[in-house]
Amino acid sequence: MNLNNLFERLQDGDRVALARAITLVESARPEDKAMAAALVRSALQLQRASVRIGITGIPGVGKSTLIDALGSQLTAEGHRVAVLAIDPSSARSGGSILGDKTRMERLAADPNAFVRPSPSGGTLGGVARRTREAMLLCEAAGYDRILIETVGVGQNEAAVDQLTDLNLLLMIGGAGDSLQGIKRGIMEAADLIAINKTDGGNEQRNQRAAMDLRLAIALLPPRESGHHPDVLLCSAASGNGIARLAEALEHMAQRDMQSGHRLQRRQAQSRWWMRTAIEEALIDGFHADARIRALLPGMEQRVQQGEISPFDAAHELLRLYGHAD
Ligand code: GDP
């Protein structure tokens, strides 16, 4: 299948073509890279409307159950839903989130949903980049709601925040411990918080957890949208509160479109991806340089021995590389 043919089929919503295009984007083979770049370029030009939603939370909180329920709600409302994931740990741990499609039974069988496991291996930045490109391909294929799952560990949120329009943080209400184990960065990246598993019959405790969270959130600076995240209750398993959650997300997406925040956010993200690509290329170039490779170990030795300051050493190497006076 040639490039034009593949992109045409992808644009028609052909899932096989989409899956193949994403495989090219994820491939490390040099001969696939040019084709992948051309596909992403074509996808970018289409500029199809979409809402990109990050979904995060600690393992076991119910992310995949919620995505199954929320995604089904969205397809029932006429949307086409793509589910992607960022899970840099998957190569190491062997078990990847979304690796097991049976965890999203309804969506996996839904003709209007497309579920793709996290690209495995590599750095967080590399995985995030490949997920971004997969997302653009999904949008070109007509998927207008993109759900990106990530495990809440702090760093992943920062990467997801460079991809999404809105972030949903999933939590479980516990007796007064709802803030425990949640790092500040995770809360700060959330536009909406949902307390899941509210089907256990402990209504009062869940309401209390929501109240505690709202109080804690009020002390944090607002998101760049100018708003503090709202806190909702839901049960991904029973479906209670899922329609309300979908409605809240749609409302926020509309709000940010109208205020111009959505565009600003996407523009800032594009600048960020460019700067990151420059920095990575510079660093890769530096470490690939033959002189630097020859001199770096010796310079490290000298720095360790205190013969030269770390800054003088860095300056010396950069000067050799041609990046300092
Ligand atoms: P993830 O690791 O965050 O993706 O969590 P999963 O979606 O795999 O859910 C972890 C466990 O919690 C599974 O056994 C689910 O069936 C269960 N679970 C998820 N959502 C709910 C819920 O709303 N209520 C209850 N009671 N269990 C749930």
Q: Mean pLDDT per 10-residue run, the chain (325 residues)? A: 89 94 90 91 91 92 95 97 83 48 82 88 81 95 95 76 94 62 72 93 85 87 90 95 97 96 96 91 92 95 96 95 74
Alpha carbon distance, N-terminus to C-terminus of the chain: 51
Same domain, 243 and 293: no
What is the distance in A from the centroid of ligand 1 to the CA of 168?
Answer: 16
* Mean of all residue pLDDT scores within the chain: 88
Indicate the SS3 state at residue 149.
strand
Whose C-alpha lies nearest to ligand 1, atom 12?
A: 62
What is the distance in A from the centroid of ligand 1 to the CA of 125?
Answer: 28
The enclosing domain of 110 has a CATH number of: 3.40.50.300
Same domain, 253 and 288: no
- Upper half-sphere CA count for residue 324 (Cβ side, 13 Å): 11
Whose C-alpha lies nearest to ligand 1, atom 18?
A: 62
Q: Which of 259, 291, 308 is the last residue of a domain?
A: 259
Count each helix (H run) and each strand (E run) in the chain, helices first: 14, 7
> Cβ neighbours of residue 294 under 8 Å, at least 6 residues apart?
none
The residue to mutate among 58, 65, 156, having the most atoms of ligand 1 within 8 angstroms of its beta carbon, is: 65
What is the distance in A from the centroid of ligand 1 to the CA of 215?
Answer: 26
User: What is residue 176's predicted lDDT score, i.e. its pLDDT?
Assistant: 46
User: What is residue 259's predicted lDDT score, i.e. its pLDDT?
Assistant: 95
Same domain, 152 and 287: no
User: What is residue 73's predicted lDDT score, i.e. its pLDDT?
Assistant: 97
User: What is residue 324's predicted lDDT score, i.e. its pLDDT?
Assistant: 64
Query: Which residues are bridge partners to 168 per DSSP?
Result: 55, 192
Q: Is 22 exposed, middle or buried (0-12, 13-18, 19+ CB in 10 A)?
A: buried
Instruction: Write out the residue range of the structural domain in which residue 313 sits.
Output: 273-322
What is the distance in A from the centroid of ligand 1 to the CA of 228?
Answer: 26
H helices of 162-260, where? Answer: 184-188, 203-218, 242-259
Tokens 């076991």 — which residue? 60
Query: Is the distance from CB of 40 to CB of 136 less than 8 angstroms?
Result: yes
Centre a 10 Å sphere on the Cβ of residue 100 and count the other Cβ atoms it contains: 12
> Cβ neighbours of residue 283 under 8 Å, at least 6 residues apart?
none
Cβ of residue 96 lying under 6 Å from some atom of ligand 1: no
Whether 9 is in a domain gets the answer no
pLDDT tens by residue, 278-316:
998 899 899 999 999 999 999 999 999 999 999 999 999
Dump the DSSP string for 38-84: HHHHHHHHH----EEEEEEE-TTSSHHHHHHHHHHHHHHTT--EEEE
- CA distances to 5, 82, 112, 214 from 17, rounded to whole Å, are 9, 14, 15, 45
Same domain, 170 and 198: yes
Whether 312 is in a domain gets the answer yes
Cβ of residue 98 lying under 6 Å from some atom of ligand 1: no
Domain count, the chain: 2
Cβ of residue 237 lying under 6 Å from some atom of ligand 1: yes
Cβ of residue 241 lying under 6 Å from some atom of ligand 1: no
Same domain, 279 and 245: no
pLDDT tens by residue, 244-291:
999 999 999 999 999 999 999 999 999 999 998 899 889 989 999 999
Same domain, 102 and 67: yes
Output the six-digit token pair for 144. 């207008």
- CA distances to 26, 93, 104, 117 from 99, rounded to whole Å, are 15, 12, 10, 5
Phi and psi at residue 168, to the nearest 5°: -105, 125
